[in-house]
Amino acid sequence: GDVRACSPTGNDGAFTFTLPWGRYRVHIRDDALTAIGCDPSLDADIILTPAHPNVRRMLSVIAATASISGTVRDRLGGTVDGAVIRPQSLGGWSGLVALGLCAAALSDHSGRFTLAVPPGVFALHARADGYGAGVTGDVAPGQDVDIVLVPEGTIFGLVVDAASGEGIAGATVRAVRRATAGQPPIASATESD
């Protein structure tokens, strides 16, 4: 499962996590929701491995004087735990890139979240394992919003020789969404047994 950890900063702003090998993202959020921040690089994932056991990151902080709250639900009205909610677009604020990569909230067991933001207008993007992405229209701080996620589906099957009925090992099967035909496949799988 997910490994979540918190570390207070020292007087010099330094922090340290000792974590098992894996892929992580770090971000800043104070309890009063007055500042948010993260590593605003385009590749914000930190991968700890035996070959790279120590990684140093500099985190940038921006003022977040407002918040947007809401609930992440599935299409039947149930709540979604563990969804990551981020601002997708902004109006009237020049920190779009930094905020879009840094600001994030995680929905709790009841689907609730609070996202710290600076003043402005935002579209929210939510994603959770097993669901397609959900996006809101424009939302302003102080609003309470519902974001609906639709479960993802699974296509499965067997590739066989038409004459013998035997399974074909090593075939590559592609799924192409009709609305994006002509584009690269959105998923592919290879079965080899």
CA geometry: angle 92, 105, 48, nearest 5 deg: 115
The per-residue pLDDT for 33 is 46
Q: Which amino acid is at 37?
A: G
- Tens digit of pLDDT per residue, the chain (193 long)? 566 777 888 888 888 888 888 888 776 665 554 455 555 544 567 788 888 888 888 776 666 778 899 999 999 899 999 998 988 655 444 444 445 446 678 899 999 999 888 777 888 989 999 898 898 988 888 999 999 999 888 888 999 999 999 999 998 888 876 654 444 444 434 444 4
Indicate the pTM of the whole model. 0.57
The DSSP code sequence of 18-68 is ---SEEE--EEE-TTS-EEEE--SS---EEE-SSS-------EEEE--EEE
Distance separating alpha carbons of residues 98 and 27, to the nearest angstrom: 12
The per-residue pLDDT for 82 is 92
- In the chain, what are the helix, strand and coil shares in percent, each to the nearest 5? 5, 40, 55
The per-residue pLDDT for 192 is 41
The per-residue pLDDT for 39 is 53
Distance separating alpha carbons of residues 131 and 82, to the nearest angstrom: 11
Q: Which amino acid is at 145?
A: V
The per-residue pLDDT for 7 is 81
- The single-letter DSSP state of residue 109 is T
> Residue 155 in contact with residue 173, Cβ under 8 Å?
no
Q: Which two tokens stand for residue 32?
A: 């009063």
Distance separating alpha carbons of residues 50 and 30, to the nearest angstrom: 31
CB atoms within 10 A of CB 138: 13
Ramachandran angles phi, psi of 94, nearest 5°:
-80, -5
Q: Which domains occur in the chain, in start order?
A: 22-149 (2.60.40.1120), 154-193 (no CATH)
